Amino acid sequence: MPEIDHTVHVALGERAYDILIGPRLLDEAGTILAERFAGRRYGIITDETVAKAQLPRLVASLDAAGLGHTEIVLPAGEATKSWSYLGQAVEGILAARLERGDLVIALGGGVIGDLAGFAASIARRGMDFVQMPTSLLAQVDSSVGGKTGINSPHGKNLIGAFHQPRLVMADLSTLDTLSPRQFAAGYAEVVKYGLIDDEDFFFWLEENRAEIFAGGPARGEAIARCCAHKARVVIEDEKELGVRALLNLGHTFGHALEKDTGYSDRLLHGEGVAIGMVLAHGFSARLGLAPSQDTGRIAAHLKASGLPTTMADIPGILGSTETLMAAIAQDKKVSRGALTFILTRGIGKAFIERNVDAQAVAGFIESQRP
């Protein structure tokens, strides 16, 4: 029997699904899929890096269970979340003659999860898919909740659909192959859950960070707690019409910085989120909403985790404040041209603030520039 350490249920009625968390789940994937989805064929979408490290394990498991499959391998990196590679993924699904009743498997990090989920949502007018996240960021955040999509030259994640997976399988062993930088980038999303509305979780992370990074039992517990948190939010607000926007803490600043750096290795998504969360708390403190010492405490924890915390930590030259503000104006939370930010009254006390003054934001960004 597969070894499953934690199971988190996402209760969405007829579209409900489980998040399975445990070691070596890729090696047991065939058994699990055959039991849950009898008679299906599978289209595996992955990237070149994950294909070398993890794809053979999944293929061997599917073969052992007698499950038919095809593989679509795309380049690694944020730039893959584009129209051209989305088209390549969809055409690969069609070329393999996968039917509407078959399943797409997203094997990879957040980029592949987002792109493969979007491809599944539009191929044959909608196919089911399974998330098999292989990065910490994907396991705690992007694989859960049904947000799928690609980037636009106008901004990050502006093209996509809400399309829930049928199952999420988080294999903890895949995290052992991540570089320290990639693992740290994912950890930023873990910290985010504590900063939104669970200060006890943030304090727990301060105490258990070393064990999480070392791969001890705290790692699986942290992932399960993040998934349970996100599941509760998604159940309450699946289409991000209200409280789900809180999950974007730090993302408005972070996405603008990602766009400015060309969605490149200069700034990984989680690194942008780390800087963005510090900026969100700093901006809140400047507005008199949050204690300034909280900003320092958060920055210290993120820095100790190997993450950048200031705009000065980004290599190369950043665009102008006006350029960053133009990116912020394209944020998905903008309504009728008015800026919406996730601000905070302290650790674990995030809230949605609408009609944020653009000049105040621009002045704050200018003050934070290196």
- Known catalytic residues? 125, 147, 189, 230, 240, 244, 248, 251, 255, 269
Please list, in sequence order, all residues whose beta carbon lies within 8 angstroms of the beta carbon of residue 205, skipping any fewer than 6 positions away.
190, 191, 194, 212, 222, 301
Tell the burial category of 176 from Cβ atoms under 10 Å away from its Cβ (0-12, 13-18, 19+).
exposed
DSSP-derived secondary structure for 192-246 = HHHHHH-HHHHHHHHHHHHHHHHT-HHHHHHHHHHHHHHHHHHHH-TTSSSGGGG
φ, ψ (nearest 5 deg) of residue 303: -65, -40
φ, ψ (nearest 5 deg) of residue 90: -65, -45
Check if the beta carbon of residue 193 is closer than 8 Å to that of residue 226: yes
Tokens found for residue 7: 């199971």
* Residue tagged 């269970």 (tokens): 65
- The annotation status of 46 as a binding-site residue, yes or no, is no
- The annotation status of 269 as a binding-site residue, yes or no, is yes
The closest of 130, 109, 88, 133 to 269, measured between CA atoms, is: 109
- The annotation status of 295 as a binding-site residue, yes or no, is no
- The annotation status of 110 as a binding-site residue, yes or no, is yes
φ, ψ (nearest 5 deg) of residue 20: -100, 130
DSSP secondary structure letter of residue 260? H
- The annotation status of 147 as a binding-site residue, yes or no, is yes
* Residue tagged 């599944």 (tokens): 120
- The annotation status of 174 as a binding-site residue, yes or no, is yes
- The annotation status of 18 as a binding-site residue, yes or no, is no
Check if the beta carbon of residue 227 is closer than 8 Å to that of residue 19: yes
**CA 277 – CA 313 distance, rounded (Å):** 14
| Sign (positive or negative) of CA dihedral 123, 101, 157, 25 | negative
The closest of 129, 116, 50, 43 to 86, measured between CA atoms, is: 116
**CA 118 – CA 14 distance, rounded (Å):** 20
Using DSSP's 3-state secondary structure scheme, residue 70 falls into: strand
- The annotation status of 114 as a binding-site residue, yes or no, is yes
- The annotation status of 134 as a binding-site residue, yes or no, is yes
Using DSSP's 3-state secondary structure scheme, residue 38 falls into: coil
- The annotation status of 275 as a binding-site residue, yes or no, is no
- The annotation status of 111 as a binding-site residue, yes or no, is yes
- The annotation status of 339 as a binding-site residue, yes or no, is no
Indicate the annotated binding residues: 110-114, 134-135, 147, 156, 174-177, 189, 251, 269
Indicate the annotated binding residues for NAD(+): 110-114, 134-135, 147, 156, 174-177
